Amino acid sequence: MDYQLIGNDEGALTQSNWDLDRIVSDLRALRSEWRETTKSNSVIYELPSQEALADIVDGLSAALFPRHFGRPGLTEEGVDYFVGSLLGRALEALLEQVRRELRLTSESRGESGVQREQRAHEITREFAARLPKVRALLESDIQAAYRGDPAAHSVDEVLFCYPGIVAVIRHRLAHELYQLGSPLLARIISEIAHSATGIDIHPGAQIGGSFFIDHGTGVVIGETAIIGEHVRLYQAVTLGAKRFAVDENGALLKGGARHPIIEDDVVIYAGATILGRVTIGRGSNIGGNVWLTRSVPPGSNITQAQARSDVFVDGGGI
């Protein structure tokens, strides 16, 4: 294999000087070893596209809130046509991304190509059917932000400007895909939101209506967290896992409920860290910078002076 770099600069290096034959061979061997180690398919499929999913989410956001994120000049008479057209394109694009994810896992499930295609359509169709429910939840989130922040002058300001709303819109969409059997697409969407807002919500987290993240930067919500209705979080709140169970070989055991349950009407102030499968009772207030690894009853007011310390042992971590 002979590589040449065409250039006009005197003394320009050619690729053959870089010993590319050996490097390409070494990389091929590493890929082969990786496939054996991870038991991954050697067939090269088209993977889901982050860029395509970002466009799909933007399209779905515009379909859910056409006055805010749709094209300029929409009229009341034309908005339904715009929403229908936009949804059609977004869902067709989503169907292709679902296909790509299912190809990666169809062998382990023993699915045929026909079964895989049928399942891709079922996931996309059911996702589309859930969009009105998603819109209704988001309306409650937007109203919670408007009512809960004295600095908010209008719901338009909340929709346009609040990073918590950006993150929650994407989480609501990602969560439906996660539930329907597209966890990779869901995780990509959540990481797009994370990059844009600094808010990290795993798509598996269950979040009730009227949810408000104020300011938002640095918030982390784990996969198995359950959050009730009318919950408010401030920046840098972590709802994480206290420790990770391991098997006899020291490998992490996947799954399992390991994140907090936050009941209705709870406020968690900036910098608070709540770890493990603990329950924060309804109507509680958790003060700023509190480190909490135990359940608290309804109506609790927890401050740093009241929070006890814990030591992590036996593979403990967040």
What's the average pLDDT block by block, 10 residues per block, for the chain (318 residues)? Answer: 53 67 94 82 80 98 95 86 96 97 83 92 98 98 97 96 98 98 98 98 98 97 98 98 83 89 98 97 97 96 74 52
Please report the sign of the dihedral spanned by the C-alpha atoms of residue 133, residue 139, residue 142, residue 148: negative
Give the pLDDT score at 310: 57
Give the pLDDT score at 317: 52
Contact (CB, 8 A) for 242 and 225: no
Specify the number of domains making up the chain: 2
* Same domain, residue pair 62 and 136: yes
* Same domain, residue pair 231 and 259: yes
CATH number of the domain to which 117 belongs = 1.10.3130.10
Give the pLDDT score at 270: 98
* Same domain, residue pair 52 and 190: yes
Give the pLDDT score at 105: 83
* Same domain, residue pair 193 and 49: yes
* Same domain, residue pair 76 and 184: yes
Q: Is 153 inside a domain boundary? A: yes
Q: Is 15 inside a domain boundary? A: no
Q: Is 84 inside a domain boundary? A: yes
Q: Is 292 inside a domain boundary? A: yes
Give the pLDDT score at 1: 47
**Residues of the domain holding 286:** 218-318
Give the pLDDT score at 106: 78
- pTM over 0.85? The answer is yes
- CA distances for 316 relative to 3, 223, 224, 293, 313, angstroms: 51, 17, 17, 12, 5
* Same domain, residue pair 231 and 281: yes
Q: Is 251 inside a domain boundary? A: yes
Residue 238: closest CA among 216, 210, 266, 255? 216
* Same domain, residue pair 49 and 184: yes
Cα 290 to the center of its chain, rounded Å? 25
* Same domain, residue pair 185 and 57: yes
CATH number of the domain to which 263 belongs = 2.160.10.10
- CA distances for 297 relative to 145, 284, 294, angstroms: 26, 8, 10
Q: Is 59 inside a domain boundary? A: yes
* Same domain, residue pair 53 and 174: yes
Give the pLDDT score at 157: 97
- Residue 126, judged by CB atoms within 10 A of its CB (0-12, 13-18, 19+), counts as middle
Can you read off the two tokens belonging to residue 24?
């390409």
* Same domain, residue pair 226 and 315: yes
